[in-house]
Amino acid sequence: MFFRCKNCGGNTVYSPEHKKMFCPHCDGTDSGEREAGNGQWECANCGAALEVGEYASTCKCEYCGSYFIMDDRVDGKYRPHWILPFQMGKERVVGKMKQEWKRRIFTPDSFLSEATLEEMKGMYVPFWMYDYAARCVYVGTGTKVRVWVSGDTEYTETSYYHVERGMDIDFDRIPVDASLEMDDATMDLMEPFDYGQLGPFAEEYMSGFYGEVYNMGADELADRAVKRVSEDAGRLLMGTVSGYATLRQERKDVDIKGNGVHYALLPVWRYRYRYRDKDYDFYINGQTGKIVGTTPVSQKKVLAYGGTVFAVLWAALSLLLHIVEVV
Ligand SMILES: [Zn+2]
Ligand SMILES: [Zn+2]
């Protein structure tokens, strides 16, 4: 499938700035007309052969830069239920990132001037979104202790409480990325997404971006969602049991039942920078602009802080070296 401009015949793409289809060749808006694919992987614009990745649902012609959507990869079992359209375009994201580097005290100045942009890709990442209902029960014995002094005697009074809690919690649309290429931890850090902008799937949103079909089925990935729901449910349950000096647990059950699953595409920008022979990847939530990535750490700037905060800085530093998360 290909979107062609009625005015000039060029390839129209979805523009996050205009929030509609846009022709970068003649600046026309809403001038894109859908052309069905011919089932062959060749560019409808220039005739060049298209290289389509194993899981790719869209591709870009290397010769003329047109974007195609593979019809059979957005259809049938691969048809997404929902899509969250990109809200942030290329320029805005680059600007935000530069700002972030400047703000960050650990980024060496030379990184700002020397790092070269190797790749920038707006990608719709496939996610499964799971719904669960959790039934939680807690039974235990809690104590509260009161101590007071009267005359020469210290009194201690221990009261015993039977503690019982029951909670039903609904978890809706717990996202788990279904792309092998994307690092799970990084994708988890892309959250939260505002689901208010999640809408029914339409191919138009994909024009101008890369996309993938799910690489793994919903059943294969359900464990990750279940683990998360169990932990969250347990935490919410125990949050209601507080104020006791001691607590002896007799029973704690978190029973989880699946309530449905949906296939959705969520927007992520990937920017790869090369700095002194090393690549640095940044992932940016295409909706909120949240950045996740690693930056080289400036030794000089860190040492300049010195003194008593040194130990604290190193603790923060080892974290930064690993991954930085910015809202
Ligand atoms: Zn045009
Ligand atoms: Zn082409």
Distance, CA 82 to ligand 2 centroid (Å)?
Answer: 29
Distance, CA 58 to ligand 1 centroid (Å)?
Answer: 21
Contact assessment for residue 45 and residue 61, using Cβ atoms and an 8 Å cutoff: yes
Distance, CA 15 to ligand 1 centroid (Å)?
Answer: 13
Q: What is the pLDDT of residue 304?
A: 58
Ligand closest to Cα of 48 equals 2
Q: Which CA distances in Å does 22 have to 122, 128, 214, 242, 289?
A: 16, 29, 27, 56, 22
Distance, CA 201 to ligand 1 centroid (Å)?
Answer: 24
Q: What is the pLDDT of residue 320?
A: 44
Ligand closest to Cα of 45 equals 2
Residue owning tokens 């359209």: 85
Ligand closest to Cα of 44 equals 2
Can you say how many angstroms the Cα of residue 206 is from the centroid of all Cα atoms in its chain?
A: 18
Ligand closest to Cα of 22 equals 1
Q: What is the pLDDT of residue 302?
A: 61
Distance, CA 68 to ligand 2 centroid (Å)?
Answer: 10
Domains of the chain by residue range: 1-73
3-class state of residue 78 by DSSP: helix
Q: Tell me the DSSP string of 152-198.
A: TEEEEEEEEEEEEEEEEEEEEEEEEE--SSS-HHHHHHTPPP-GGG-
Write out the chain's pLDDT in tens, 327 residues. Answer: 999 999 999 999 999 999 999 999 999 998 889 998 777 788 888 889 988 889 999 999 999 999 999 999 999 999 999 999 999 999 899 888 888 877 776 788 888 888 888 889 999 999 999 999 999 999 999 999 999 999 999 999 999 999 999 999 999 999 999 999 998 989 999 999 999 999 999 999 999 999 999 999 999 999 999 999 999 999 999 998 989 999 999 999 999 999 999 999 999 999 999 999 999 999 999 999 999 987 787 766 666 555 444 444 444 444 444 444 443
Distance, CA 68 to ligand 1 centroid (Å)?
Answer: 16
Q: Which CA distances in Å does 204 have to 15, 125, 175, 284?
A: 10, 16, 23, 22
Distance, CA 48 to ligand 2 centroid (Å)?
Answer: 5
Distance, CA 56 to ligand 1 centroid (Å)?
Answer: 26
Ligand closest to Cα of 51 equals 2
Ligand closest to Cα of 43 equals 2
Which residues are placed with Cβ below 5 angstroms of ligand 1, an ion? 5, 7-8, 10, 23, 25-26, 28
Distance, CA 29 to ligand 2 centroid (Å)?
Answer: 22
